[in-house]
Amino acid sequence: MAPVEFGIFNSVYVPKNFADADPAGAEHRRILDEVEYTKAADRNGFKYTWATEHHFLEEYSHLSSNESFLAYMAAATDRIHLGTGIFNITPPVNHPARVTERVALIDHLSGGRFEFGMGRGSSSPPAS
């Protein structure tokens, strides 16, 4: 039997009461929290961290650049696999050729720990 693998999901959720308590610093503090959660997961043997890509959402997710977050986490961690869950590959949001370049670089920088998840995502414009 294969061992169970655990992971975490990064989305930089900023609840309204959290934002109301610190309007100028809540988002920044939550981003740094996600960094610390991921470092702790790496130290404790978690296999994966998955980072979202969402745009213009008020509470649900403030992580609009998962590739920047994951590139930072590649340098801040040693073993955890870094995944995009998901990377929006629709041309109005991210051109597929540029996505390919970015994910290849993260894979190099992370020593092969990058996991590529892609799709349309909830922040995409509707199909015409």
Cβ-based burial of 52 (10 A; exposed 0-12, middle 13-18, buried ≥19): buried
The answer to whether residue 6 sits within a structural domain is no
What mean pLDDT is reported for the chain?
91
- The answer to whether residues 36 and 44 touch, using CB atoms and an 8 Å cutoff, is no
Express each pLDDT in 53-101 by its tens digit.
888 888 888 898 999 999 999 999 999 999 999 888 888 888 989 999 9
Note the Cα 101 to chain centre separation in Å: 17
The answer to whether residue 9 sits within a structural domain is no
> Number of folded domains in the chain?
1
The answer to whether residue 5 sits within a structural domain is no
The answer to whether residue 125 sits within a structural domain is no
The whole domain housing 34 covers 14-119
The answer to whether residue 44 sits within a structural domain is yes
pLDDT number for residue 124 = 57
**AA letter at 22:** D
The answer to whether residue 74 sits within a structural domain is yes
Cβ-based burial of 5 (10 A; exposed 0-12, middle 13-18, buried ≥19): exposed
Q: What is the pTM of this model?
A: 0.89
